[in-house]
Structures are given as C-alpha cells and as structure tokens.
Chain A
C-alpha cells in the first residue's frame, strides 16, 4: 500500500512534467528539449524564493508558475520561432532547444553553483496521515492535489475555452487556422508558456518531494518524460497522465521486487514494447499519414 501511494505521488509529478512535453508536441509537432532545463531552473528558483524570500511553499508555487511561463515564451521566441518554415525545422528545433537548455543550465550554475541545494529546514509542515496502514505526509497530498488540479484545468481549457479551440485548430492544420483568423503565432507562444509553466511546477514539486535540486535533475527526468509521452500516446493529455502514473508505479515496484539498479530497464522495456505493439501509444490516435 505504501509503495502504491509512493508510486502515485512520483507518477503524478512525471505526469505533470510529461503533459508539458506532450502539449507542445501534440499541438505544434515539435519536441522541446529545453523543457527539462525549465524543470531544473524552477526547482532552484523555488528553493531561493523559500530560502531568501522567506515565502511559504504555497506562495512560491504560483510565482514559479509565472516564472516558467516567461521561460516558455523565451524558448519559443529564441529557439523555435526563427525556424518557422524551414525544411529541417524538425531536427533544427531539437538542436536549438538543446542549445538553449545548455544556456539555461550554465546560468543556473553561475547563480547557484554546481552543488546540490535543499529547502531550508522547517519549510515543510509535519502533518501526517495514515491511509489504510500507509504513511502519507501533507506535502505528498499537496503534490498530488496540485498536479491533478493543473491537469484537470488544462484539459478543461483545451476542450472548452476559445484559446483551447484555437490550439486544437492549430494542431489540426496551422495554415487553415491562420486563414480562418486564428492568430497562430500567439497560440504557439501561449502553448509554450503553459507547457513550461507546468514543467516549472513539476520541477518545484519534485524538489519538494526529494528535498534536493541538482543541475542534472532535468536530464534525469527527460528520458522518463519521453517514455511517458510515448507510452501514453504522443500529444494525448490523458495519455500522459496515465503514462506518468504507470511509470511511477512500475518504478516503485521494480525497486521493491527486482532491485534499484534495474529500475530504468523496466521503464525502457515498457517503452520499447509499447512502441512495437502500439506505436501510437495507449491513448494516442493513429495519425493518418499526411502526404
């Protein structure tokens, strides 16, 4: 039971991170490899807000959300918009976002140094609950709650709001959307902002969960995020949620029954099997080849 809950908590963070990833991919057909850098940067910024700013954890979260959104706008403007209309935009977007990620990480090193950082002692409330014989901390409940609330909010926005309709129109056919008066550039920028804001919150929650932030934390979760969006189905928001939870649970149980050193083989074995059997992912729609 304890393991199940732990798997759900870590899985919800994976899901939140992966949803940001898959949002950009699903709508703009681009893989933004600067997303993990946002994840790491927001963890450091979150710690600084609590440590120096003296804010409580809960006040820091919305600020980090905004910080992530701003980073997302920068990523779109610097790494993706200049590539518009290029034949090799797909490869070039990967590389330019990797380059931007490198710059972000270098700046983090400049401001925070290469060492691991933690939240100051006493930032977490000690409240604990007992659920069916398992220990659950208030922090974990909040992680789950924030993740679920953001995911539900995002899904509602994409399916119901005018902005979400614009996003889906751009995903379907950018040219047609532009002709029909959708401001494609604005939709693109907003998509990046939302995606990065979610990645930023995921970063802080992750840092809270393990109480550390490291420069390399983004690359560690990057692979998992990729696995999650494949398992769930590229571009599928509920798919990313389920994929994240599946991965979180698989990892926790792999550590318990097989050994921690084999944990990542489980994740990638799962990924591989899904790709071979169901390349569109668990919930992804098979995209008709557009030729």
Chain B
C-alpha cells in the first residue's frame, strides 16, 4: 500500500525540504531565488566527493554526502550573502537569481560534472529517510518560531528600521537566515541527487527555483507547516489528476496553474492559514497584574542604568545638512539622568532630525554627540539601542502582522536571552526565559493600559492604541533614555493627560525621557525642562515657567507685531528622513529675526567622567 505511493511521498518530502529553504529567508522578509544554485553546488560536490556506498556502507555514504552538501550550501550562502546583504526585495531576488544562473552555466561547462549529460549517482535515499530528513528540518523551524531569534526575524520582515531600533542586529540576523537557507537547500540537493540517480545542471534552473518559491508561498510563508502543505499540494495535484483520468497534455498544467491562482487569491496566508493558529497570551501569573513595577522577572538579562544626575546625552555643535539646507545647526544640549525634556518648535524646526541623530538613525554632518557613553553617528543603530536608548516614531512603526504582545516581546529583545538552541533541546531553562520575557511584555502592555488587547494584531488597533503600543514596546527593553516622537498626536485631552501621567510615572522610576510634542500645554505640565527649536537652532531652554514667558519662543510661535516671520518653507520633500518626519526646513535667511543666542541658558558642558553604576 505504502510502497505504491513511495515515489510521490518521496517527492513531497523533497519538495517540502526545498520549500523550507525558501521559507528560511521569507520569514525574515527576504526574497531569494539563489537556493537552486546552493542546491546544485551541494549536489554535484557531494556526488563527486563523497565515498561510494560500497566502501563505507550506503547510509554512512549518504550521511557524509549530506554533511558535505549542507556545509557547501551554507558556505555558498555566505559567499553570496555578504555582498548582497544591502539589497532588498526584488533586487535581492534578481541578484540571487543571477548567481544561480551563473552557477548553472559554470557547472554545465565543467568537466567533472559531466556537463549537460549530468552525473550518475547511486540511489540510496528511501521514502523513510526522506521523511526523517523532512521531520528534522520541520522540527528546526517549529522550535525557531517562538524563540527570541524567530521573533527577531519576523520583526525584520515587518519593519526593518523599527527592528534595528529595538536592538536587533539586522545584518547578522539576515545573514543567519540566508545561511540556514543555504544549508537546507544543500540538504535538498544531496537528497535529490541520491534519489533520482542522474543529476544535470538543468535540474536546478530558474524553473526549479520558481517552483520552490511557489511551494513555500502557497503553503504559507509565515507558519512552519506551510512548506509541507505547499509541497503536498504541488505534488499531489498531478497525481490526483492522473488518478481521476484527466488526460496529459495541456489540461494538467492548466488546472494546476488555475488552482495555484485560486489559492493565492483567496487564501492570503497560504494553505497554512486554514489551520487554526494559537495566539499566545501571557499567563495570568503571580503578580496579579498589579502596578507592574518592582517585581521584575529574574530571568531577564541585567541592564545598567546611569545614576540620577549623570549625563545621558551630550550634544556639541551638532548639525545636519541636507544638500545645503540646514535641518539642524550647531545644537549644544546636555540631558541628565532623571530629566524629562520636552522638545518643541514649529513644524520643520528640526526636532525629528535631532532625535533621529540622537538615536543613531541619521548621522550628523557636523559636531558630535555622545549618548550613554556611545558616540552616535559612528555607531550602528542596534548598538545605540543596546546602550539603553529606546524610541517611538512620529508615524507608528509597529510590526503590523504580529500581535500586540508579540510586538512588545520583540521590544524585550535586548533584555531577554537567546532561546532558540535551548528550545531545540527542550531545556527547561529556555521555557523559563521565554516565560520571563512574556511576563515582561505583559507588564509593559499593562502599564500603558493595553493588557486586554494582547492578542490583537497591531494593525487592527485604533490609532491611539497603536501609539501606546509603541510606547510599551519601547519600554520593554528597559531603556535608560526613552525618546518619544509626538506621542500625543491624534489623542484627545483625556488621553493626552493620561499619557502625561504615564510619562511622569516613568520618570519617577528613574527613566530619562526626551520627547517631541506639539501639545504645548501637555509639554509644560509634564517636563522638567523644555528646549525650543526653530529653524534648526535652539532658541530657548529652561523650566516650563521660563519658556512660557520667553519672548523668543512667543515670537517663534506667534510672530511679532511689526515683523511677520516668513512662513514659506524650502520644498525639500525628497530629504532622506528615515522616520518620514516632516523634513521641510524654513528658508535659512528668514531666521534673521530670531536670536540664536537664546541658547545661553544652557548649563556648561559637564566634563566629569561618566562612571557606570
């Protein structure tokens, strides 16, 4: 009975393994078509290098071949991955496709591969072995799903920049995903070779790569069972057609393509979306969802925070110029631990550009900035985040297809421990660490009042809830410096005053907060210090009371009676502002009626060395 179906069953397993090599990168949002190249490098090398089954026994020979193939597949992925890491989307797909084609032509023209005739390989693989290999691969991706590593990959897929700001080293994660794809594709190549008896470079062409991609996407590229379902679907359709007596020729490919179209149009998540997906909710454990602070789970990695009064941010002569337009110029600013600094100013004053520089997203064009001991501008964003900076964005940058809780879990990346390898081995400590991260996330959600929405997709939340979710996500990394970019935008008075209370309570916990806001009333009631920017320069800095009566500020906001400030802005809509903040900058010459010297209320720069507490 089973023997009768041995061939299709083996092909289902092989197709699924190949589809997993696409899944491995799709899960991180990368579209690669190079897997066929990895598979052919692996298949031909293993077939040429591995000892014959007569010398060492068939199964050991296959295992050696698999080891060779996976290693070479992974190596090929590193070789291709390092230079193409900066490519995205279709560009990456075409570059990797070019690689696969080049590999194919080279192999076709080489002596040792037998050229177009191909290479004869003994058949060793049985249906059982194929399914064992598939089970191992599927197990790998199953355990990856709910590990810190798996979450980081999903975060990169949803929003790369936000993932960086959460402290995820995007380059390393993407390369890891790519290497996994290479190893799995190598496994596929070797198993395929040891089943079909004769391999030719043409077996790993563009059509094969497209077939693998189609299988992964039809099955569902966001759930670990997807590739298996996709392969079953793709392999069984011709079999079923044959069984019910559909003639060969054009009808079979036509129906198969039609079904593919129907699946992709009507099942957005692929076949896997037919399966129920458990949403993970925080266990209602011990703390009774109380105030939330104080009982920090002990399984989180420790973070050091600067002591109250220590310098957190030092900006000296910081400036940013976009093609001759000064978005920010010559800003000196010092923020000390425990302060709540409000940053206000008219539209286009350079507020967002300034915080983008502080959080490491935009390199300054002049001056220098030190944040929590890190020289920003020369430090990658994730390292700035690791130093203790966490932020929200002017336009929400949530991981839209993840639940609210998962969003916050990604935020906890820096304080949770890597769990993937331990999850593979079912070590209880991985479970405890995951539990601790969940509790941390639940606490942060509770703190912003979103505990009830934990299982809701981020994209399904209301606008105000999305803003609060971003704050929860930023809090989850237990930052020393929290930067909020217009957190109250779009909120009504009640919500804004709740937010103000939240910010003050966070400050009471010792957090340093820098926030941009247009709601001046809220800023004045929340902050310990207010900094006013106009035309990229600091025009005032001081306590809320001072600022409220400062003539320069009033002038900047309202204009003076005799000299209306020019309100026209240089239309520089193409400025590279990674947060999409309003980039228009006032015409530089209209700054004449503002006193830049107002910045002299700043404290002198602190030169005492910063010692970690």
Seen from chain A, the residues whose Cβ lies within 8 Å of a Cβ on chain B are 25, 31, 78-79, 82-83, 86-88, 90-92, 94-96, 98-103, 105-107, 109-110, 219, 222-223, 226-227, 230, 234, 261-262, 264-265, 268-269, 271-272, 275-276, 279, 288-291
Contact = CB atoms under 8 A, between A and B. Distances in A.
- Count chain A CB atoms within 10 A of each CB in B87, B105, B207, B579 and give the residue with the most: B105
B548 to A, nearest CB: 35
B597 interface: no
B217 interface: yes
Contact of B249 (A96, A103, A110, A268): A110
A99 to B, nearest CB: 4
B222 to A, nearest CB: 9
Number of chain B interface residues as a range: 35 or more
B266 to A, nearest CB: 8
B5 to A, nearest CB: 25
25 contacts: A90-B89, A91-B221, A95-B217, A95-B218, A98-B210, A102-B253, A102-B254, A102-B260, A106-B251, A109-B250, A110-B250, A219-B206, A227-B98, A261-B108, A265-B105, A271-B95, A271-B98, A272-B95, A276-B95, A279-B86, A279-B91, A288-B576, A290-B580, A291-B161, A291-B578
Contacts of A94: 31, 213, 217
Contact of A102 (B218, B256, B268, B579): B256
A276 B218 CA distance: 31
Contact of A91 (B83, B207, B217, B580): B217
Contacts of A272: 95, 98-99, 102
Contact of B94 (A78, A103, A107, A275): A275
Contacts of A88: 221, 268
A223 B101 contact: yes
Given A87-B400, A272-B95, A275-B95, 16 more contacts: A78-B261, A83-B265, A92-B268, A95-B264, A98-B214, A102-B260, A109-B249, A109-B253, A110-B250, A226-B97, A264-B105, A268-B101, A269-B102, A275-B87, A275-B98, A291-B580
B505 interface: no
A264 B207 contact: no
Given A226-B94, A261-B105, A91 B265 contact: no
B262 to A, nearest CB: 9
Interface string B231-257: 000000000000000000111011011
B254 A276 contact: no
Contact of B31 (A91, A226, A268, A271): A91
A87 B459 CA distance: 10
Contacts of A271: 94-95, 98
Interface string B68-97: 000000000000000110110111001101
Contact of B84 (A101, A227, A276): A276
Contacts, number: 134
A265 B105 CA distance: 7
Nearest to A276: B83
Nearest to A259: B109
B417 interface: no
Given A109-B250, A222-B206, A230-B94, A289 B83 contact: no
Interface in B179-201: none
Given A79-B261, A91-B217, A98-B210, A234 B90 contact: yes
Contacts of B260: 95, 98-99, 102
Nearest to B206: A223
Interface of B is mostly: helix
Contacts of A102: 253-254, 256-257, 260
B161 to A, nearest CB: 5
B299 interface: no
Contact of B26 (A91, A99, A105): A91
Contacts of B264: 92, 95-96, 99
A36 to B, nearest CB: 11
A262 B101 CA distance: 11
Contacts of A264: 101-102, 105
- Count chain A CB atoms within 10 A of each CB in B102, B250, B400 and give the residue with the most: B250
B574 interface: yes
B250 to A, nearest CB: 4
Contacts of B97: 223, 226
Nearest to A30: B90
A232 to B, nearest CB: 12
A88 B89 CA distance: 12
A108 B124 CA distance: 39
A92 B217 contact: yes
The 6 closest A-B pairs by CB, nearest first: A102-B257, A106-B254, A110-B250, A99-B261, A99-B260, A268-B98
A98 B575 CA distance: 37
A100 B256 CA distance: 10
Interface string B100-143: 01100110110000000000000000000000000000000000
B90 A107 contact: no
Given A272-B99, A288-B576, A265 B106 contact: yes
A180 B108 CA distance: 55
Contacts of B504: none
B257 A103 contact: yes
Nearest to B158: A87
Nearest to A280: B91
B397 interface: yes
- Count chain B CB atoms within 10 A of each CB in A78, A92, A94, A291 and give the residue with the most: A291
Contacts of A79: 261
Nearest to A109: B250
Contacts of B207: 219
A230 B84 CA distance: 14
A91 B23 CA distance: 12
Nearest to B100: A268
Interface in B254-276: 254, 256-258, 260-261, 264-265, 268
A264 B260 CA distance: 30
B573 to A, nearest CB: 9
Contacts of A230: 91, 94-95
Contacts of A275: 84, 87, 91, 94-95, 98
B446 interface: no
A289 B218 contact: no
A222 B101 CA distance: 12
B94 to A, nearest CB: 5
A143 B597 CA distance: 70
Contacts of A265: 102, 105-106
Given A102-B260, A289-B576, A25 B90 contact: yes
B254 A95 contact: no
Contacts of A87: 268, 400-401, 459
